[in-house]
């Protein structure tokens, strides 16, 4: 089975650790971003199979980040 790549965009360190551990138990490769800006860059660079994102993030919120990610043709 092919390993899936999941991008987690989360500013809470404990939540990030928990999600990361759970995903790794399912043999997923995990990319981590602590804010929306970094998450958008990682999404464009790595084209993950799934993005899990917090809505309330410092700076740009998750809703605005989702719009920017969806507007990028390579990620649809």
- DSSP β-ladder status, 29-33 and 50-53: unpaired
Q: What is the pLDDT of residue 1?
A: 64
- How many beta carbons lie within 10 A of that of residue 51, not counting itself? 21
* Count of domains for the chain: 1
User: For residue 40, is it within any domain?
Assistant: yes
pLDDT digits (tens, 9 = 90+) for 37-49: 999 999 999 999 9
User: For residue 76, is it within any domain?
Assistant: no
User: For residue 5, is it within any domain?
Assistant: no
CA dihedral 28, 67, 63, 16 (to 10 degrees): 20
Q: What is the pLDDT of residue 2?
A: 79
Q: In what order do the strands lie in the sheet with 5-9?
A: 29-33, 5-9, 50-53
User: For residue 59, is it within any domain?
Assistant: no
Q: What is the pLDDT of residue 73?
A: 64
Domain range for 38 is: 14-52
Q: What is the pLDDT of residue 75?
A: 67
Measured in degrees and rounded to the nearest 5, phi and psi for residue 67 equal -60, -45
User: For residue 31, is it within any domain?
Assistant: yes
Give kind and range of the element (H or E) at residue 17: helix 13-25
Alpha-carbon gap, residue 51 to 19, rounded angstroms: 12
Q: What is the pLDDT of residue 34?
A: 97
User: For residue 43, is it within any domain?
Assistant: yes
| pTM across the whole model | 0.91
pLDDT digits (tens, 9 = 90+) for 11-58: 999 999 999 999 999 999 999 999 999 999 999 999 999 999 999 999
């Amino acid at each position: 089975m092919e390993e899936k790549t999941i991008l987690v965009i989360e500013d809470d360190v404990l939540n990030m650790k928990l999600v990361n551990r759970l995903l790794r138990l399912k043999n997923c490769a995990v990319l981590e971003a602590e804010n929306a800006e970094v998450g958008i860059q990682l999404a464009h660079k790595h084209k993950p199979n799934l993005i899990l994102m917090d809505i309330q993030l410092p700076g740009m919120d998750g809703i605005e980040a989702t719009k920017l990610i969806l507007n990028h043709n390579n990620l649809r």
